[in-house]
């Protein structure tokens, strides 16, 4: 009976550790892809590193940033 309990605990630990490892690898690959942001002017989705940023707002190009600021 004691062996059975040890096996169950071992299996549970294996599943928990496996899930933690899987979560870490998926979040890492998402970081590599970069965060997607939306252009405030035309709703186009672009990578955060490629977007033109103005405060908390993102734009796909300098022209859209300027036309939104003129409003
Ligand atoms: Zn745009």
pLDDT of residue 20: 87
Same-domain status, 1 and 23: yes
> Residue 52 sits in which domain range?
34-71
Cα of 40 from ligand 1 centre, angstroms = 7
List, as ranges, residues with CB under 5 A of the ion ligand 1. Answer: 39, 41-42, 44, 60, 64
Average model confidence (pLDDT) across the chain? 88
* From 25-29, 35-39, 51-55, the region with the lowest mean pLDDT: 25-29
Q: 5 and 24: one domain?
A: yes
Using alpha carbons, list the distances in angstroms from residue 62 to 13, 36, 42, 50, 56. 51, 18, 12, 11, 15
Q: How confident is the model at residue 16 (pLDDT cuts 50, 70, 90)?
A: very high
Q: What is the pTM of this model?
A: 0.53
CA-based radius of gyration for the chain: 23
Q: Which residues contact 54 (CB under 8 A, 6 or more apart)?
A: 65, 68, 69
Contact criterion met (CB below 8 Å) for 39 and 64: yes
């Amino acid at each position: 009976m004691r062996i059975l309990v040890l096996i169950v605990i071992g299996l549970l630990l294996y599943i928990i550790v496996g899930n933690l490892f899987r979560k870490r690898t998926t979040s890492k690959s998402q970081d590599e892809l970069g965060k997607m942001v939306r252009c405030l002017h035309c709703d186009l989705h672009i990578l955060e590193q490629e977007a033109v940023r103005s405060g908390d707002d993102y734009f796909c190009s300098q022209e859209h940033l300027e036309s939104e600021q003129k409003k």
